[in-house]
């Protein structure tokens, strides 16, 4: 939320930016040209996809002039409307109509047509096409639909830097760009980073000291292992999956009532903690109810599908929402697991990717067999789960589902999967009331054939197809999500779209190497995470030098470690944990911490259990951020301000903004104020000089020792505050009574505690406090 209006300036800016950009681009192009022959996948297909496929691509209904450019034979064929002419004649620029069209200045001839609002090709792009045609106009299958291969690691000159295979791939590109890596990060930085990436929590003061004084050679490997074995590892890893799986605590449409999907959330945490391998993790969630050894635990896993919204609005048409819910499942499967956007094919053949409407409904067919109804009645007859349901008794929790954490002695109910026999029809234009041809369930054949001798035509077959080692997408997509979680962006930046319109990987060979290596290690997630975190790429410093900003401002070549603001949930965790307030209970029903007044009340219709926000008290106020109750229609504001997913749909990547509302939140959120107060009181009750206390607060929050200049400033600030409170004695008590937490010990020195409280608040508001660096 930045509020500027500068039209005139922006015009000028854009003009100049473009001039310079075009210049840079020509330069870049001439470099590229000198180097390698044209690659269809890298050079040509992105342009075709962007500029041509909407009329000359996979969507046969929208095809113009009978020309398809996405398939080699069709592109080479005689033009149906222009006999004797050919769009592409390999080797001949002169005979290729495509070249004439993209070069023409005649608005009636030029492609793309002006009315498409697609800008014409740049001279450099035209040259690429010419060279490609000259070199034989060779087509290639889309890179991500070809199974990954493990190539030998490249040769690099900086052999002293590399720690594992990852670094060879990174160094090769870096050297190509004339960049050199940063030196190794400071030890305290590495500790902070590892805690964030593996636990989403800061090290406790004593833990920090222990690791700092650990002089063993393999201390870092030990640290990783230890953090991976803490239960908070599962919590940290789950947040990524909860975004993809659109987890929430309410049904999401306008009369937004409570539901009980949290036992599934606890299943996820437990799965990560026991290091369930990714193939098993997926299989149970996709088809846990259909597995030969299925039990309540594997059935619980299938609640994954049922996390989507569920309407309780009076008077809806049941079938319309049953279809809507299955469309959501199909989209989630595509984006979260295969990294493709298939929803376009819901209404028409996909315009860019080789997915027909029939392919779409075949995939949809797996979910269409679910027994569920689209509507079970309005909010007045609401239940915590919708059919089919899994009932979890106290017995079940004692024996099998021991990680489900609730004192509630009633049996729990969770929405899960269960199939029936239901035929699937292709729905014309995606409309629930326009069924057309009957289709058989099958997975996307252009990704990998769905061989029915190996795969059943149900979700179990789909699960097997998904985790088949020949599937070109599953491993790549997951490896990329993990990379994104650690580095802030994926090797494929469009982590939810590996299709033709998605971005190309910055390091394709590395992505493939990691994907194959991951599968070779039986989809072992801890192995993968450790591999990445053990690389020199990860352990280098995050200092940003001039060369970085000039040559690689976006850090696409990893010549430095990233600096990333913590995710919303982990900001909360950081504040609670460093202040000592954190309640580290794992799982259970979500909780309702402090929240500004009226967030639920101002939006509700007044119906349902969630009309008014009933804030929790006591211990429940200090649970980790991931347990904050998510009411879909009014999600927790502090989380939303820090770019948390609104969980409305599968979300592959959060944005990372830097806004004034975030500043207001960190300065005025009662949770931060309370944590500052509690931490200050704790420090104040300890022995030692005020300098020591301030230093300790600094180390607790920033995970490093302050420089003397920093310490001087903070002590100066503290002294100012002391003076301030001396002349405003009435404010001391107010400062020390912020928040509901009752400090047991009476403050020995209230003035000191109050002035320290302000100092702690200041520390929490430093940029570095909530940044992984």
Partner 1 sequence: MKEFIEHGLNQNRRKFLSKLSLGIGGMALGSLMIPGIFDASNEEDLFNNVLPHFAPKAKRVIYLFQNGAPSQLDLFDYKPMLQKMHGQDLPASIRGGQRLTGMTANQTKFPLAGTRFNFTQNQNTGAYFSETIPHIASISDDLCIIRSLYTEAINHDPALTFFQTGAQVGNRPSMGSWISYGLGSENKNLPAFTVLLSKGKGNGQGVYSKLWNNGFLDSIHQGVQFSSGEEPVKYLSDPEFIDRTDKRKMLDELADLNQESYKEIGDPEIVTKIQQYELAYRMQMEVPEVTSLQNEPESIVKMYGPDCLLPGTYAANCLLARKLSESGVRFVQLYHQGWDGHNNLPNELIGQCKDVDQPSAALIKDLKQRGLLDETLVIWGGEFGRTNYCQGALTKDNYGRDHHPRCFTIWMAGGGVKPGVYGETDDFGYNINTLPVHVHDFHATVLHLMGVDHEKFTFKHLGRRYRLTDVAGNVVKEIIS
Within 164-203, the residues that bind partner 1 by CB under 8 A are none
User: CA 108, 112, 118 angle in degrees (round to 5)?
Assistant: 125
d(CA 497, CA 481): 12
Of 20 and 221, nearer to partner 1 (C-beta) is 20
Question: SS3 of 42, please?
Answer: helix
Closest contact distance (angstroms) between CB of 517 and partner 1 is 25
Which residues between 629 and 688 bind partner 1 (CB under 8 A)? Answer: 632-635, 637-638, 640, 643, 646, 648-649, 655, 657-665, 667-669, 673
Contact at 8 Å (CB) between 475 and 516?
Answer: yes
Select from 427, 415, 421, 419 the least CA-distant residue to 320: 427
Answer yes or no whether residue 494 interacts with partner 1 by CB under 8 A.
yes
Answer yes or no whether residue 765 interacts with partner 1 by CB under 8 A.
yes
How many amino acids of this chain bind partner 1 (CB under 8 A)? 135
Answer yes or no whether residue 135 interacts with partner 1 by CB under 8 A.
no
Tell me which of 341, 474, 539, 628 binds partner 1, using CB under 8 A. 341
Of 19 and 438, nearer to partner 1 (C-beta) is 19
d(CA 611, CA 440): 43
Answer yes or no whether residue 1 interacts with partner 1 by CB under 8 A.
yes
Closest contact distance (angstroms) between CB of 506 and partner 1 is 8
Q: Which stretch binds partner 1 (CB under 8 A): 3-11, 291-299, 460-468, 685-693?
A: 3-11
Tell me which of 620, 717, 741, 747 binds partner 1, using CB under 8 A. 717
d(CA 371, CA 297): 19
Name the token pair of 234: 């599962």
Rg (CA), the chain: 29
Closest contact distance (angstroms) between CB of 488 and partner 1 is 11
Residues in CB range of 55: below 8 A, 6 or more apart = 62, 63, 64, 112, 116
Of 261 and 311, nearer to partner 1 (C-beta) is 311
Half-sphere exposure of 589 (CA within 13 A, CB side): 15
Q: Which stretch binds partner 1 (CB under 8 A): 211-219, 307-315, 451-459, 511-519?
A: 307-315
How many helices and strands in the chain, by DSSP H and E? 31, 6
Q: What is the DSSP letter of 436?
A: E
Which residues between 545 and 604 bind partner 1 (CB under 8 A)? Answer: 545-546, 548-550, 553-554, 556, 563, 565, 596-599, 602-604
d(CA 71, CA 51): 15
Closest contact distance (angstroms) between CB of 379 and partner 1 is 10
Answer yes or no whether residue 734 interacts with partner 1 by CB under 8 A.
yes
Which residues between 428 and 457 bind partner 1 (CB under 8 A)? Answer: 433
Which residues between 683 and 712 bind partner 1 (CB under 8 A)? Answer: 707, 709-710
Question: Phi, psi at residue 413, to the nearest 5°?
Answer: -130, 135
Tell me which of 173, 476, 693, 758 binds partner 1, using CB under 8 A. 758
Tell me which of 122, 164, 387, 615 binds partner 1, using CB under 8 A. 122
Answer yes or no whether residue 30 interacts with partner 1 by CB under 8 A.
no
Answer yes or no whether residue 606 interacts with partner 1 by CB under 8 A.
yes
d(CA 768, CA 766): 5
Answer yes or no whether residue 768 interacts with partner 1 by CB under 8 A.
yes
Name the token pair of 279: 């193939």
Closest contact distance (angstroms) between CB of 8 and partner 1 is 11
Contact at 8 Å (CB) between 291 and 283?
Answer: yes
Tell me which of 92, 218, 295, 605 binds partner 1, using CB under 8 A. 605
Contact at 8 Å (CB) between 213 and 184?
Answer: no
d(CA 107, CA 112): 10
Q: Which stretch binds partner 1 (CB under 8 A): 236-244, 248-256, 382-390, 452-460?
A: 248-256
Which residues between 34 and 63 bind partner 1 (CB under 8 A)? Answer: 42-43, 46-47, 49-50
Longest dimension (CA), the chain: 96
Select from 690, 714, 719 the least CA-distant residue to 702: 714
Answer yes or no whether residue 731 interacts with partner 1 by CB under 8 A.
yes
């Amino acid at each position: 939320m930045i509020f500027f209006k500068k039209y005139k300036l922006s015009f000028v800016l854009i003009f100049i930016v473009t001039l310079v950009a075009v210049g840079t681009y020509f330069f870049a192009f001439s470099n590229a040209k000198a180097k390698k022959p044209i690659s269809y996948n890298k050079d040509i297909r992105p342009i075709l996809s962007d500029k041509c496929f909407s009329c000359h691509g996979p969507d046969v209904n929208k095809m113009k002039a009978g020309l398809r450019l996405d398939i080699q034979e069709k592109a080479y064929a005689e033009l149906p409307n222009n006999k004797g002419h050919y769009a592409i004649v390999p080797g001949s620029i002169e005979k290729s109509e495509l070249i004439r069209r993209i070069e023409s200045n005649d608005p009636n001839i030029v492609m793309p047509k002006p009315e498409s609002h697609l800008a014409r090709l740049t001279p450099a792009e035209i040259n690429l096409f010419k060279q490609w045609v000259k070199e034989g106009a060779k087509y290639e299958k889309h890179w991500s639909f070809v199974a990954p291969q493990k190539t030998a690691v490249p040769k690099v000159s900086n052999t002293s830097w590399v720690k594992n295979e990852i670094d060879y791939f990174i160094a090769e590109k870096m050297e190509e760009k004339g960049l050199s890596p940063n030196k190794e990060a400071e030890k305290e930085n590495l500790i902070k980073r590892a805690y964030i990436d593996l636990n989403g929590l800061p090290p406790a003061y004593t833990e920090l000291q222990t690791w700092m004084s650990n002089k063993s050679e393999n201390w870092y490997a030990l640290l990783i292992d230890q953090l991976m074995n803490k239960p908070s590892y599962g919590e940290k890893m789950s947040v990524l999956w909860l975004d993809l799986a659109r987890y929430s605590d309410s049904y999401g449409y306008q009369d937004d009532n409570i539901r009980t999907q949290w036992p599934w959330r606890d299943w996820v945490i437990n799965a990560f903690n026991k290091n369930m391998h990714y193939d098993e993790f997926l299989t149970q969630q996709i088809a846990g109810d259909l597995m030969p050894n299925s039990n309540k635990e594997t059935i619980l896993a299938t609640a994954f599908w049922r996390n989507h919204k569920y309407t309780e609005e009076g008077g809806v048409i049941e079938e319309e929402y049953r279809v809507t819910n299955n469309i959501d499942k199909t989209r989630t499967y595509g984006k979260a697991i295969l990294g493709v956007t298939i929803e376009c094919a819901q209404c028409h053949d996909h315009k860019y990717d080789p997915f027909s409407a029939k392919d779409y409904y075949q995939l949809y067919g797996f979910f269409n067999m679910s027994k569920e109804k689209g509507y079970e009645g309005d909010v007045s007859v609401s239940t915590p789960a919708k059919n089919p349901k899994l009932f979890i008794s106290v017995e079940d929790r004692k024996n099998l589902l021991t990680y489900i954490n609730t004192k509630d002695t009633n049996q729990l109910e969770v929405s899960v999967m269960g199939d029936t026999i239901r035929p699937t029809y292709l729905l014309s234009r995606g409309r629930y009331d326009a069924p057309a041809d009957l289709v058989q369930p099958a997975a996307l054949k252009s990704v990998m054939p769905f061989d029915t001798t190996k795969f059943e035509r149900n979700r179990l077959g789909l699960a097997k197809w998904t985790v088949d080692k020949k599937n070109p997408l599953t491993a790549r997509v997951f490896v990329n999500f993990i990379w994104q979680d650690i580095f802030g962006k994926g090797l494929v930046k469009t982590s939810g779209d590996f299709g033709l319109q998605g971005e190309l990987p910055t390091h394709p060979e590395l992505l493939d190497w990691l994907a194959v290596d991951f599968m070779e290690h039986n989809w072992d997630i801890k192995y993968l995470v450790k591999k990445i975190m053990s690389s020199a790429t990860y352990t280098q410093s995050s200092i940003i030098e001039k060369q970085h900003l000039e040559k690689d401002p976006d850090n696409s070549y990893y010549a430095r470690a990233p600096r990333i603001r913590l995710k919303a949930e982990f900001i909360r965790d950081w504040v609670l944990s460093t202040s000592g307030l954190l309640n580290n209970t794992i799982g259970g029903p979500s909780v309702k911490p402090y929240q500004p007044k009226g967030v639920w009340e101002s939006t509700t219709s007044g119906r349902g259990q969630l009309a008014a926000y009933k804030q929790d008290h006591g211990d429940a106020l200090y649970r980790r951020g991931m347990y904050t109750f998510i009411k879909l229609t009014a999600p927790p504001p502090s989380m939303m301000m820090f770019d948390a997913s609104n969980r409305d749909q599968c979300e592959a990547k959060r944005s990372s903004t830097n806004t004034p509302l975030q500043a207001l939140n960190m300065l005025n959120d009662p949770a931060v104020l309370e944590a500052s107060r509690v931490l200050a009181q704790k420090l104040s009750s300890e022995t030692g000089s005020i300098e020591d206390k301030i230093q300790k607060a600094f180390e607790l929050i920033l995970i490093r020792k302050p420089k003397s200049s920093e310490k001087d400033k903070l002590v100066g600030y503290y002294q100012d505050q002391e003076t301030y409170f001396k002349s405003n004695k009435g404010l001391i008590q107010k400062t020390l009574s912020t928040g509901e937490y009752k400090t047991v010990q009476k403050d020995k020195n209230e003035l000191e505690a109050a002035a320290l409280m302000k100092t702690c608040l200041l520390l929490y508001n430093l940029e570095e406090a909530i940044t992984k660096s």
